[in-house]
Chains A and B, each alone.
Chain A
Amino acid sequence: GIQVEQSPPDLILQEGANSTLRCNFSDSVNNLQWFHQNPWGQLINLFYIPSGTKQNGRLSATTVATERYSLLYISSSQTTDSGVYFCAGAGGDYKLSFGAGTTVTVRA
C-alpha cells in the first residue's frame, strides 16, 4: 500500500504564529485528505485535495500531485487549533493510508 510520511511529528507554536505541515506519499494518490482529530477521537475533515490549492478561513492546503506531497498551512494560529493533524491518501483501491500525524500545540 501507499506509505505516508508526515512532518514534523510535533509542533509548538505561540498564538498568532504561522506554520506549515507536510505530507509525502510513496505513490500517486487519487484521494488525499487532511483531518484534525478532536480530543474525543473523531476525525474532522479539513480538506479533500488530490491536487491544487484550497483555502478555508485561516487554513489552506496545497497538493503537488506530480511530486507526491501536500502541505497544510495554519495562519494566525489560535489555541483552538491544537490537536493532531493527519493526512491520508488512497490510490485506485480507495483504502486510505494515514500518516503518523503531527501534534500541534498552540500556547497563549
Chain B
Amino acid sequence: KAGVTQTPRYLIKTRGQQVTLSCSPISGHRSVSWYQQTPGQGLQFLFEYFSETQRNKGNFPGRFSGRQFSNSRSEMNVSTLELGDSALYLCASSFDSGASSYEQYFGPGTRLTVT
C-alpha cells in the first residue's frame, strides 16, 4: 500500500504571497491531520479533517486554512505569508474506525521557505 504523499516537497515563497500544500492519505484512510515543525516551536498540530469536515483545530491564526475532498485528499492554504511561516509542514493520515484512538502515519513533508 502506498504511503502518505505530499506535494510539493520544497517551496520558496515571498512574504505576503499565499501557498497551497497538498496531501494524499493512505488508501482507505479518511482522517487527515496537518502539523507544522519549526526549530523554535517544535511540532505543532494545525488541524484535522474527517469526511470533508474540520474536526479539530490547533492554535494557529486564520491565515492557516484547509479543506478535504471527497476522495480524502487534503489541502492546506497559508495566506499572507510571514517569515515565521517557514517550516516543515507534515501531513498524517489515519484509519478512523470510530475507536477511541488510532495510529497516525506521516508523509515526507513539504519544506516551505518564506523570503
Contact = CB atoms under 8 A, between A and B. Distances in A.
Nearest to A49: B103
Nearest to B94: A94
Nearest to A42: B108
Interface string B39-75: 0001111001000000110100000000000000000
The bracket for how many chain B residues form the interface is 20 to 34
Contacts of B43: 86, 88, 98
For the residues of B in contact with A, the DSSP-based class is strand
Contacts, number: 62
B10 to A, nearest CB: 11
A99 B44 CA distance: 10
A22 to B, nearest CB: 17
Interface residues of A, number: 26
Interface of A: 1, 29-31, 33, 35, 40-43, 45, 48, 50, 86, 88, 90, 92-101
